[in-house]
Amino acid sequence: MTNNSPALVFDLDGTLADTAEDLIGALNVLLVREGLPSVAPHAARSMVGGGARALIQRGFAAGGAPLEPERLDWLFGEFIAYYAGHIVDATRLFPGAAACLERFFEADFRLAICTNKPEHLSRLLLGRLGVADRFAAICGRETFAVNKPDPRALLLTIAAAGGDAACAVMVGDSKTDIEAAKGAGVPVVAVDFGYTETPVKAFAPDRVISHFDELWEAVASLRARGAHT
């Protein structure tokens, strides 16, 4: 790779990997321990997008048990401990994602992850899925002092990958991703199969795709129109 290689930055949960079932599984372990009703994966999928703490709060609120901050902190630790041991029980890359990563990697793109998932869990997950070595940087919640939607999280990720924000594209599934990209002045492609209650096109990304087979053309079109000159 050269110093001016284009950068392609991905969100993780709901974008590259379908992690909802394992995240909901970890939540349900906590709920059952507390004598609360578990939630069905199809009903809880929209709970996943805000991160683990928000997921726990939503799950407990649905069971009529809102949480005090101290209790949430303890449950978060329990959640992470269980989830780390079951991180790929059901989680898989979305269809076409592996081949897509390989194509961009072979085309000399600097690939990176910018996620609000803890970095150590992100690295563990990508390693178990067999694609960690494709990324020049894997940046998570505690990697920097800021997180998405703060655009600095994206800009710092691009820099960590050895990329240039002027030659970068973001790929995500949520308002958080799109706001981070827009704030950073980076074009953004949104996937429409992720974890957002509001259709992602409502947040006005530069492109929307429904399968990773469409990403190559989407990125090429953004670069061709000079969206990041």
pLDDT band at 3 (very low <50, low <70, confident <90, very high): low
The stretch 140-149 carries a mean pLDDT of 96
- Mean pLDDT score of the chain: 93
200: enclosing H helix or E strand: none
Task: Write down the H helix ranges in the chain.
Answer: 20-33, 41-44, 52-62, 69-85, 97-106, 119-128, 151-160, 175-184, 215-224
Q: Is 11 a catalytic residue?
A: yes
pLDDT band at 229 (very low <50, low <70, confident <90, very high): very low
Look at residue 167 and tell me whether its pLDDT is greater than 80: yes
In the set 11, 18, 22, 173, the catalytic residue is: 11
- Class at the top of the CATH hierarchy for domain 7-18+92-224: alpha beta
| Residues linked to residue 8 through DSSP beta bridges, in sequence order | 111, 169
- Backbone conformation region of residue 68, classed left if phi is above 0, alpha if psi is from -120 to 50, else beta: beta
pLDDT band at 132 (very low <50, low <70, confident <90, very high): very high
Q: Domain 20-85 is of which CATH architecture?
A: Orthogonal Bundle (1.10)
pLDDT band at 4 (very low <50, low <70, confident <90, very high): low
Q: Does pTM surpass 0.85?
A: yes
**What pLDDT score was predicted for residue 42?**
75
pLDDT band at 47 (very low <50, low <70, confident <90, very high): confident
Comparing C-alpha atoms, which of 112, 229, 101, 104 is closest to residue 167?
229
**What pLDDT score was predicted for residue 45?**
73
Show me where the domains of the chain are located. Answer: 7-18+92-224, 20-85
Taking each helix axis from N to C terminus, what angle separates 215-224 and 97-106, rounded to the nearest 10 degrees? 40
Q: How far apart are CA 126 and CA 99, in angstroms?
A: 15
Residues 54-68: tens digit of each pLDDT: 899 999 999 999 999
